[in-house]
Amino acid sequence: MIVALDRLLTNSRRALAAGLCAGFTVAAAQAAQLDVSLELPKLAVAEYHKPYVAVWLEPAAGGNAVQLAVWYDSGKANRKGEEWLKELRQWWRRAGRTSVMPIDGVTGATRITGPHVLSFTAGAAPLGTPAAGDYVLFVEAAREVGGRELVKIPFTWPGNSPQKLNATGSSELGAVSLAITP
Amino acid sequence: MHSSVKQTFSVLLTGVVLTCLPLISQAHRGWIMPATTVFSGEDPWVGFDAAVSNDIFIANHAPLRLDDLQIQAPDGSLVQPANTATFKSRASFDLNLKQVGTYKIATASGGLMARWETDTGERRFWPERGKKADPADFKTSVPKKAKNLEVSYNYRRVETYVTRGAPSQAALKPTNQGLELAPVTHPNDLFAGEAAQFVFLIDGKPAAGTNVSVVADGSRYRNNDGAREFIADKDGKVSISWPVPGKYFIEAEYSDNKAAKPAKTRKGSYSLVVEVLPQ
pLDDT digits (tens, 9 = 90+) for B129-166: 777 778 888 888 899 899 999 999 999 999 999 999 99
ipTM above 0.85, yes or no: no
Distance between CA atoms of residues B38 and A100, nearest Å: 16
Instruction: Say if residue B70's pLDDT is above 80.
Output: yes
pLDDT tops 80 at residue B24: no
Tell which B residues from 9 to 38 touch A, by Cβ distance under 8 Å.
38
Residue B96 has phi, psi (to 5 degrees) of -95, 115
B 43-62 → A contacts, CB under 8 A: 43-44
CA of B229 vs chain A CAs: smallest distance (Å):
29
| Widest CA span in chain A | 60
Is residue B74 within 8 A of residue B105, CB to CB? The reply is no
Number of cross-chain residue pairs from A and B with Cβ atoms under 8 Å apart: 39
pLDDT tens sequence for chain A (182 residues): 444 444 444 444 444 444 444 444 444 457 999 999 999 999 999 999 999 999 999 999 999 999 999 999 998 888 999 999 999 999 999 999 999 999 999 999 999 999 999 999 999 999 999 999 999 999 999 999 999 999 999 999 999 999 999 999 999 999 999 999 99
Looking at the partner chain, which of A82, A96, A148 has a beta carbon nearest the beta carbon of B42? A82
pLDDT of residue A29: 55
- Measured between its terminal Cα atoms, the distance across chain B in Å is 44
The CA–CA distances, whole Å, from B44 to B99, B145, B160 equal 10, 56, 17
Measure the CA–CA gap between A68 and A31, rounded to whole angstroms.
Answer: 17
CA B278 to chain centre: 25
Band of residue B110 on the pLDDT scale cut at 50, 70, 90:
confident
The answer to whether the beta carbons of residues A36 and A139 sit under 8 Å apart is yes
Residue type, B21: L
Tell me, yes or no, if B40 comes closer than 8 A to chain A by beta carbon.
Answer: yes
A76 reaches B (C-beta below 8 A)? no
Q: What is the pLDDT of residue B23?
A: 56
Q: How many CA atoms lie within 13 A of B278 on its CB side?
A: 8
A89 neighbourhood in chain B, CB within 8 Å: 38, 277-278
CA distance A58 to chain B (A): 15
CB contact under 8 A, B44 and A150: no
pLDDT of residue A24: 44
What is the reported pLDDT for B250?
A: 98
pTM for this model (two decimals): 0.85
Q: CA B165 → CA A141, B44, B98, B183, B189, distances in Å?
A: 19, 10, 11, 18, 11
Residues of chain B found within 8 Å of residue A148, distances taken between Cβ atoms = 278
- Measured distance CA(A166)–CA(A37) in Å, rounded: 9
Asked if B165 and A97 come within 8 Å (Cβ–Cβ), the reply is yes
